[in-house]
Structure 1
Amino acid sequence: MTTKKDAPAKPTLFRAADQAKVKVESQSHPLNPNSQVRGVSLSEQVGLQRLGIHLLRIAPGKESFIFHSHHSEEEFLYVLSGRGIAEIGDEQFEVGPGDFMGFPTPSVGHHLRNPFEEELVYISGGERREVEVADFPRVGKRLVRFGMQASIFDVTSAHSLSFGEE
């Protein structure tokens, strides 16, 4: 028998009809002036804590965040409608409905942009680890996040340390 203490804090079902009641959030990446993503955190609606799953939209002419790679959090993207350009490593691919991208760690650099006339709608998901390190190789920056506190560093001015055997 499930006790109140064991019961989930949020409902485990989030119906499509309920989406209209949830505030749509807008985010952009501080290192990319063309970044603008709108959407809803589906995982928040059902109380998931270790996974982040989001229903996202990129308007025509806008981009997801910035070309980046992850050191500890895996990520995936699944396109529902519209078209976009996925930058994966040194290659670019046109993507559309039904296309799925997965980025195991350490991940190859990736980014999504919408140069087309219609809105790009996709599901983005991944792990929510306490600590994450992500690189932004095209701008020479590194993000280090502990919980909800993040710092961005200039990789070119960082000092390397070695903790190997003497």
Structure 2
Amino acid sequence: MSKDTYIVTAKEIAAMPPQTRVHFLNPNARRKERDVGALTGLSEIGFQLVEVLPGHESTEHHVHHHEEECLFVLEGEATARVGADVYQLKPGDFMGCRKSGLAHSLKNDSDKPFRCIAISQRKDHDVSDYPRAGKRLFRNRDLTWNMVDKRVIDRPFGVKT
């Protein structure tokens, strides 16, 4: 596909080999995705077709502070964790995750693949927290990403609490 592509047909999408993604903080967070938006040159919006196989999570439990993301369920079922709450997602359900909202993640607890459309912003800079791992990620375009232990920045050296 070229930067002049505006239309991607169902046949072309079906022929795309999915990319397997494994989250760097969680080896069980494994998904297959087709980055359809990139085929048309979208650079500020991510539009992926995502598949999570049974027993796997879609990502490490996280929250973005500068980017929003959402998903629409196409097939299958998954358990969504949003903050301390747990929800069962089914076909036709929508999940919206606003910036600096509650940490969120999905797990396919069923015996069939879970498929959804995932849409996200792609800003030059973002900060993400991973509460289960106790980490904060600073991501900046064209710079090395930096991950720190969140406890270090929650209680900075020399600051009395």
Residue by residue, what CA displacement relative to the aligned partner does 1:16-35 show, whole Å, maximum 9, x if unpaired?
A: 10023323101011111211
Query: Which sections of structure 1, spanning at least 5 residues, go unmatched?
Result: 1-7, 162-166
- Equivalent runs, 1:1-166 vs 2, <5 Å: 9-147=3-141, 149-158=144-153, 160=156
Give a deviation string over 1:105-128, Cα, whole Å, max 9, x none. 112110011010000000111111
Task: Please list every run of at least 4 consecutive aligned residues from structure 1 whose deviation after the TM superposition is greater than 3 angstroms.
Answer: none
Q: Give, as a single letter, the amino acid of the residue that structure 2 aligns with 1:67.
A: H
Residue 10 of structure 1 and its aligned partner are, at CA, apart by 3.4
Provide the secondary structure at the position in 2 that maps to 1:36.
strand
Q: Which structure shows the higher strand fraction?
A: 2
Aligned mates of 2:136, 2:123 — CA distance in 1: 17
- My pick for the range that moved more, 144-153 or 60-69, is 144-153
Amino acid at match of 1:157: V
- The two structures have a TM-score, normalised by structure 1, of 0.88
Q: Distance in 2 between matches of 1:81 and 1:17?
A: 19
Structure 2 Cα separation of the partners of residues 16 and 107 of structure 1: 34
Q: Which whole-Å deviations, capped at 9, do the CAs of 1:47-96 have from their partners, x for residues lacking one?
A: 11110110000000111111000100010011100000000110110101
Amino acid at match of 1:127: Q
When Rg is computed on C-alpha atoms for both structures, the one with the higher figure is 1
* Displacement of 1:139: 1.4
Q: Could you say what the CA RMSD is over the residues aligned between the two structures, in angstroms?
A: 1.5
Q: Say if 2:13 and 2:36, in contact at 8 Å, map to a contact too.
A: no
Distance 2:52 2:32 in 1: 7
Instruction: Structure 2: give runs of 5+ residues left out of the alignment.
Output: none
What residue identity is the alignment partner of 1:98? G
Q: Percent identity?
A: 31
Counterpart-to-counterpart distance in 2, 1:14 and 1:86: 30
Structure-2 separation of matches of 1:123 and 1:133: 23
* SS of residue in 2 equivalent to 1:156: helix
TM-score by length of 2: 0.90
* Stretch deviating more after TM superposition (65-74 or 8-17): 8-17
